[in-house]
Amino acid sequence: MDLKTLERVFAEAKRRCLEEEAKLHGKPTDYLWRHVERVYHLCIKIGEREKADLDVLKAAALLHDIAKFQVDPAQHGVVGAEMAEKILKNSGFPENKIEAVKHAIKGHARLYEERKTLEAKILLDADIMEKFGAVGVARLFLRCALDGDTIKESIIKHRRMFNIIKDYVETGTAKKMFMERYMFTQNFLERFEKESKAEL
Ligand SMILES: [Fe+2]
Ligand SMILES: [Fe+2]
């Protein structure tokens, strides 16, 4: 993909994400676009080491959550893939790579389905990494506020999700990077519980 095409896809993804965030609370919440940007950079880092197709990976990362707040969460991959196809066609993205982008976008939101390409695996790896580490903890509380949960409710919900999702990191590069984030999160949650009970 040439630089102009990438710039068009990047700009369109950013515009739409910020628009969606603004609809939630009247101004961008930092929940969506900043996440997409970080996933994009993580994907490039992992993708370079794993020798993935970076055109597919960059486009999939930028557009993976394009339908995040528009439909039922379980559907945001399928709907997002269709929206991405239109954006990519209008941006001059290589036609022969569009299906691979769609597969990755669909796959990141359907945990129990097989991701058949390296790029689809990397996109999910990067998306999972965002849920852990310092960024993951920050996002946990941001999500808590967006959902109107108490901190305790949010932590219970996230603990359940963490236990399931941690086993879906697939590529060797991501697994190495993930472990540190996972340990940080575990330590944080344990400390939080102790402080909550005034044990520390
Ligand atoms: Fe998503
Ligand atoms: Fe995401």
Q: Nearest CA to 91 among 108, 66, 72? A: 66
Q: What percent of the chain has pLDDT over 90?
A: 72
Average pLDDT over residues 20-33: 80
Residues 6+ apart with CB under 8 A from 14: 33, 36
> Are residues 69 and 20 in contact, defined by beta-carbon separation less than 8 angstroms?
yes
Q: How far is the CA of 94 from the centre of ligand 1 (A)?
A: 23
Query: Where are the alpha helices (H) located in 26-53, listed in sequence order?
Result: 33-50
Q: How far is the CA of 194 from the centre of ligand 2 (A)?
A: 30
In the chain, what are the domain boundaries? 3-196
Q: How far is the CA of 195 from the centre of ligand 2 (A)?
A: 30
Q: How far is the CA of 13 from the centre of ligand 2 (A)?
A: 13
Ligand lying nearest the CA atom of residue 70: 1
Say what the pLDDT of residue 154 is.
Answer: 86
Residue 125 belongs to what H/E stretch?
helix 118-129
Say what the pLDDT of residue 193 is.
Answer: 87
Evaluate if residue 69 carries a pLDDT over 90: no
> Are residues 46 and 126 in contact, defined by beta-carbon separation less than 8 angstroms?
yes
Say what the pLDDT of residue 126 is.
Answer: 98
Ligand lying nearest the CA atom of residue 109: 1
For residue 189, the tally of other CB atoms under 10 A from its CB is 16
Q: Which residues of 103-126 are buried (b: 16+ CB within 10 A; e: fewer)?
A: bbbbbbbeeeeebebbbbbbbbbb
> Are residues 83 and 66 in contact, defined by beta-carbon separation less than 8 angstroms?
yes
pLDDT band at 45 (very low <50, low <70, confident <90, very high): very high
Q: How far is the CA of 196 from the centre of ligand 1 (A)?
A: 31
Q: How far is the CA of 13 from the centre of ligand 1 (A)?
A: 14
> What average pLDDT does the structure give for the chain?
93
- Out of 43-52, 84-93, 140-149, pick the least confident: 140-149
Say what the pLDDT of residue 84 is.
Answer: 98
Q: How far is the CA of 65 from the centre of ligand 1 (A)?
A: 5
- Out of 72-76, 124-128, 171-175, pick the least confident: 72-76
Q: How far is the CA of 194 from the centre of ligand 1 (A)?
A: 32
Q: What is the gyration radius of the CA atoms in the chain, in angstroms?
A: 17
Residue 143 vs residue 104, higher pLDDT:
104
pLDDT digits (tens, 9 = 90+) for 142-186: 888 888 889 888 888 888 888 899 999 999 999 999 999 999 999
* Correct CATH for 3-196 of 3.90.650.10, 3.30.1330.40, 3.40.50.620, 1.10.3210.10: 1.10.3210.10
Q: How far is the CA of 142 from the centre of ligand 2 (A)?
A: 14
Q: How far is the CA of 189 from the centre of ligand 1 (A)?
A: 24
Say what the pLDDT of residue 67 is.
Answer: 94
Evaluate if residue 62 carries a pLDDT over 90: yes
Average pLDDT over residues 55-75: 94
Q: How far is the CA of 36 from the centre of ligand 2 (A)?
A: 6
For residue 82, the tally of other CB atoms under 10 A from its CB is 13
Average pLDDT over residues 117-129: 98
Say what the pLDDT of residue 85 is.
Answer: 98
